[in-house]
Structure 1
């Protein structure tokens, strides 16, 4: 059994952050989103993983993620020259996949459920494909499935105006090698892409064994700022463990679950968890409220922050109004002078400099 993770695309919904980097490397609780998918796949017992990369961000993904040693996996990088659809990504990965069954995992997805139980059902019942579904309130924004009482998939449609159900396709799929012939039989959609939903529908039309399973717990597609903040909140709520390795002076106080990395220094700060602070950070005269993630090498002086994500190397000084619901890019710099309104919200890309006057 192999796996492919899609880590290409342009990440337009997370701009300006993704003008300069891959959306799958944006951190949730100080860990790249992509890594959660790798860890979930390895936990299911699959260690031969191909990562689909784009020309624009592939080098960054490769450099940051490495050869898989840190995950106990063997990672192969597969270049998709243009974003021509999910089924096209499978086509590009065919030399890596060979005749092996495989999991396809969209790299900006996070789910609470473990993959092992689904993988076992897929293998034991010798399916040609298995899709994961979740009821959603807005099915017109997703690929949608119609399923019978036995869990067999009857029909798939991509972002329908009139949905046949409220069951959205989660970005995780299980395939036998028969999917390759199905992809060869389909044509590009109206938007010029080879759609994986069309390939699965082709399997259904040829009366192969295609089933669905509904996931329980949360499912997060981290493609937008608010989704990213929600994912950060849920991961901090469910997975963060207290660990203070940095230096916290006598005037500083921490409450609840707080992680502070090595080399970080807090002076006269209050931190109310769940909060994670990376390595080699400097915080002085700050209040860090719940559901905040601060990456490595960040400097915060006279800052009041909560429910926000601050990326590596950012620097914020002298902002005396609370910053909430914000994502601050790598190496971004914010500084302020006079009094401003009670709360500020930001979506700031890498290397930005902002002065509030």
Structure 2
């Protein structure tokens, strides 16, 4: 079985954090988003993963490419890099990895994480993973018949069609058949909203008799902007709170770490309270601070700070204000 992950977008909604690092390599609970995604797929996959194809923008660079290959290696697979320069829709992007569309295939978008308690049923023609949402107008959704089969896929419906949103993870028993449907869109210049849509290829599969069914996850986590990424970090730390989260190579001096919080190797925390729901990357230093519900990346220094719902990048330096106060009775200072 192969996995194909399109991740060539430049992550503009996550700037400034994506100016030097692609969004899928931003950390969630101490590991890049795409690393967490690959691990989670491997957990529900009952068969060996052979190759993981990463479709990236050429500007990402060799260091990113080597990181992605290592992520594949960590789950026993071979990593392969494909390039997409111009964004023309998901069907267009996926065809850069056309050689991997043989046999069973999983397609997964790199800004989606999830919690699931099932094993993938590889006997199905196709599975589209969904989650119930309150406002389906913001998502692609699926319609079901009384046999729990998908009869239609609708992009961002203006009126209610279904509350089952497509989360961006798919399984196909016949990868070559899917590639044929995507190539048909390109060859005949069939676009929707100016792009070669993946849902159009899925509808083509459906019309040719492939039975697509929903696979519902327990929880769906988004990493589309700073606030939801910090929230996803919080939820993911709750998922793994029984694991060892504080490195033996971290150093705590007159400090408290409130779990669940991830503390990387080489981190120094001095005269501070950190947590809950904080992730701190390798070799960062925190001093005289109070931090909760935040992500702090590698090699970053924070001092005299009170942080919440915050995200600091790599090699950043943030110093708050030390206050020497004399405040009388019944005064309020904001």
Aligned pairs (5 A) from 1:107-118:
107-113=110-116, 117-118=119-120
Q: In structure 2, which of residues 139, 155, 176 is the aligned counterpart of residue 158 of structure 1?
A: 155
List alignment gaps of at least 5 residues for structure 1: 244-258, 341-357
Paired residue for 1:34?
34
Change over 3 Å in CA distance of 1:134–1:59 after alignment to 2: same
With normalisation by structure 2, the TM-score equals 0.88
How many angstroms apart in 1 are the aligned matches of 2:181 and 2:153?
Answer: 14
Kindly tell me the number of residue pairs found equivalent between the two proteins. Answer: 315
With normalisation by structure 1, the TM-score equals 0.83
Is the CA contact 2:8–2:84 (under 8 Å) kept in the aligned structure 1?
yes
How many angstroms apart in 1 are the aligned matches of 2:243 and 2:171?
Answer: 36
Q: Shift of the alpha carbon at 1:242?
A: 5.5
Paired residue for 2:281?
295
Paired residue for 2:290?
304
Aligned pairs (5 A) from 1:213-232:
213-232=214-233
Is the CA contact 1:103–1:172 (under 8 Å) kept in the aligned structure 2?
yes
Show CA shifts across 1:301-326 (max 9, x none): 1111001110111111123xx21011
The question of 1:100 aligning with 2:83 is answered: no
Q: Shift of the alpha carbon at 1:7?
A: 2.3
Q: In structure 2, which of residues 45, 50, 53 is the aligned counterpart of residue 50 of structure 1?
A: 53
Paired residue for 1:268?
254
The question of 1:76 aligning with 2:80 is answered: yes
List alignment gaps of at least 5 residues for structure 2: 325-334
Is the CA contact 1:134–1:215 (under 8 Å) kept in the aligned structure 2?
yes
Show CA shifts across 1:76-127 (max 9, x none): 1111222222111221111233x3231101112111115x633x2xx324x1
Paired residue for 1:251?
none
SS in 1 for 2:58: coil
RMSD: 2.0
Aligned pairs (5 A) from 1:136-147:
136-147=133-144
Q: Shift of the alpha carbon at 1:134?
A: 1.1
Is the CA contact 1:42–1:73 (under 8 Å) kept in the aligned structure 2?
no
SS in 2 for 1:164: coil
Paired residue for 2:195?
193
Show CA shifts across 1:322-357 (max 9, x none): 2101111111111133549xxxxxxxxxxxxxxxxx
Paired residue for 1:148?
145
